[in-house]
Structure 1
């Protein structure tokens, strides 16, 4: 979707059930993605949530207020055309997994990293069959090839819709483990934000925040909430 606001041109928003899914319509005409595909969603609850984003628009359409629509467009336009590249990109996060690079001081940061990050790595080892190596400092440490392969499989087995939501979570968090934990319900958006921003949060607690940092963090939190909402709606019970 374009990030530029444009004048609202429709009155009613409806969802039509089709053989292939659920079609969001404006005044009876299908919403279309940037590549002109009909906005056909696989789950009725997600379709209604996307429709509600369009209903909430005022005199102008603000794409920044439509994160579920944007993710749906990504699932329809971008993921099918770029799936191998997306999997490759996301798998690359595991090679330098954020949670594996720990501070050696101060003691309070060391302890917070261990308390927040180690349970997620333990989860990855058990749930994904992907134990990862932890190190102190920023020097790159190679990860076990079998673990990297297991994490790649976790990406490859997701359909285009779930891969779109996961991709947003991983990119925002800067961590494949955090993204997978969010996608599989091990973390919610607040927990994912806490893990991804742990070092930044620690620094801000000591030195204080500025307006730019606050805006950046609010944007990251909102994107993680969008990814979580999108993924949960895909798995919501059908009414």
Structure 2
């Protein structure tokens, strides 16, 4: 099982979820070897068991989750595997593996990367035309930035087009301080939401319960939805979006419990 999962957790910062899925799809998948999947409470958390044996991470560490609902969701992924075990269909399991094996060892590095996103957040870059798109961005994103500013104690600077705008270093420092207080599992989930949406702001608001998951998801796709309304949906783009939504939902389970 180690080879199948190592691309997922070995370097969390480098792997796009869609590219991970493509890589996994090119590998020969192992056959399902177990019959019964269950959840067991242990001293360190909640374990998933396969025929009574606890699941381990690719690095052979105990696969433990902090709550029974999370462990049951991971167990459901294992139970859903049919003739083979396909990690591409197990986003929560992959994310937990990443947290246990990688993020726990590289916490500061991952937290620093998320904070850098906050300094170059997608919500700060606005279309100058067409006017209707600019207005949609303003109506959707301004309240979210206002909420994030309230959490951080600093305001975001906006830019028209794609020219870089530097944020106040105090803002990114405040963001880094906030994410530095979470668990490795929560940090892995924040990283996933940040990279999928392009926005550390959206990840923070999701974690703090300021907006619903559907509102966060819609805010992350304002531009994409605008283009789809104009030109129609692209089948490949829709497939990728659906896959990313599964990753997003797994991270949301962790962040929203």
The bucket for the TM-score relative to the shorter chain is over 0.9
Structure 1 residue 69 corresponds to structure 2 residue 100: no
In structure 1, the gaps of 5 or more residues are 234-239
Shift of 1:21: 1.2
Shift of 1:222: 2.2
Note if contact 1:100-1:132 (Cα within 8 Å) is conserved in structure 2: yes
In structure 2, the gaps of 5 or more residues are 6-23
TM-score by length of 2: 0.86
Note if contact 2:31-2:83 (Cα within 8 Å) is conserved in structure 1: yes
Spell out, residue by residue over 1:167-223, the C-alpha distance to the aligned partner (whole angstroms, 9 max, x if none). Answer: 110010111001111111223332222111211111111111221221122222222
Report the Cα distance in structure 2 between the residues aligned to 1:210 and 1:20, rounded to whole angstroms: 46
Report the Cα distance in structure 2 between the residues aligned to 1:187 and 1:215, rounded to whole angstroms: 25
Spell out, residue by residue over 1:141-183, the C-alpha distance to the aligned partner (whole angstroms, 9 max, x if none). Answer: 1111211111111111111111111111001011100111111
Q: 1:39 aligns with which of 55, 63, 72?
A: 63
Note if contact 2:91-2:246 (Cα within 8 Å) is conserved in structure 1: no
Note if contact 2:92-2:247 (Cα within 8 Å) is conserved in structure 1: no
Q: How many residues align?
A: 233
Query: Aligned-residue CA RMSD in angstroms?
Result: 1.4
2:151 maps to which residue? 127
Instruction: Map residues 1-239 of structure 1 onto 2, 5 A cutoff.
Output: 2=5, 3=24, 4=27, 5-233=29-257
Report the Cα distance in structure 2 between the residues aligned to 1:210 and 1:99, rounded to whole angstroms: 24
Shift of 1:232: 2.4
Note if contact 1:189-1:221 (Cα within 8 Å) is conserved in structure 2: no
Shift of 1:230: 2.5
Report the Cα distance in structure 2 between the residues aligned to 1:65 and 1:167, rounded to whole angstroms: 19
Note if contact 2:70-2:253 (Cα within 8 Å) is conserved in structure 1: no
